[in-house]
Structure 1
Amino acid sequence: MTESDSVRIDKWLWAARFFKTRSLAQQAVEGGRVRLDGQRVKPSRAVRVGQHIVTPRGEETWEVQVIGLSEKRLGAPLAALLYAETDDSMAARTQAAADRRLAWQGQVHADHRPSKKERRDLQRFRDRNAP
């Protein structure tokens, strides 16, 4: 962790492993998907300890409080020490995961891959019902 009292937000998001590359972090910040203390910011905005960040991570939205700073990408266990997720964020992510699980269970799933004949039949059915 660095000795400085602030780090660029795009570097921090990359170092904390919210994004795979710094350019993806920069694009998310520029696109307005990342908020610092409730406001849209530019990628060069400085992040300080104690500030709140709302950021997407995959399909989920994370709300975290900055508790550490780093300009270098760290291993996952060390990167997790840079932030603390809020209780509301954890509850929302848990609920979203449960909703996705229920949606998956409600769908009909085949018990096997289609055979060559079944694929041909499906293709014929789709071709007949195409607009």
Structure 2
Amino acid sequence: MSAVAEAEDAPDQGKIRLDKWLWHARFFKTRGLAAGVVKSGHVRVNGNRAGKAAHAVRSGDVLTFSQADTVRVVRILALGTRRGPAPEAQALYDDLTPPPVKSETPVSPNPRYEGKGRPTKKDRRKLDLNRPGALE
């Protein structure tokens, strides 16, 4: 068999399915979840929307997709052959996601406003001391 015929029979070694790469790089827990995100049109490859999970990606492509509440931007460095441990998966890409902008004041999940919300123990002690006849 000639080298040309062997090259035609073998799949292109420089490409991999998009859903498979996202799963290998551990961005999604299952390949089905990765395929669902790609099919719903939430993944961009080099700025163009990928409509199929079988979209071929190669080294150097830039992927943009949302994960949880952040938008991830990654450049593919390697294709990978298996879904290995996390350090191996992190070697497959370069994270280009800009760091989150930190606000000057910390945002608490339950902000306290003066006079609103449940009083703290310290506030309750103050209220008890100010109540008439509390310590008589």
TM-score by length of 1: 0.69
Contact 1:53 1:63 in 2 (8 A): yes
- 2: CA distance between counterparts of 1:71 and 1:55? 22
Other-structure match for 1:10: 19
3-state SS of 2:91 partner: helix
How far did residue 46 of structure 1 move? 0.7
How far did residue 83 of structure 1 move? 0.5
Q: Structure 1 pair 103/83, CA: closer, same or farther in 2 (3 Å)?
A: same
Structure 1 runs, 4 residues or longer, greater than 6 Å off: none
Other-structure match for 2:62: 52
Other-structure match for 2:90: 80
Contact 1:12 1:71 in 2 (8 A): no
Over aligned residues, Cα RMSD in angstroms?
2.4
3-state SS of 1:65 partner: strand
2:56 is equivalent to residue 43 of structure 1: no
Other-structure match for 1:118: none
How far did residue 54 of structure 1 move? 0.5
2:28 is aligned, of 19, 22, 38, to 19
Amino acid at match of 1:25: A
Report how many aligned residue pairs link the two structures. 103
Superposed CA deviations along residues 74-104 of structure 1, whole A, max 9, x for unmatched, are 2111100000012xx232xx22xx35x8332
Gaps of 5+ in 1: 113-131
2:107 is aligned, of 103, 109, 129, to 103
| Higher gyration radius (CA) | 2
Contact 1:7 1:71 in 2 (8 A): no
2:98 is equivalent to residue 90 of structure 1: yes
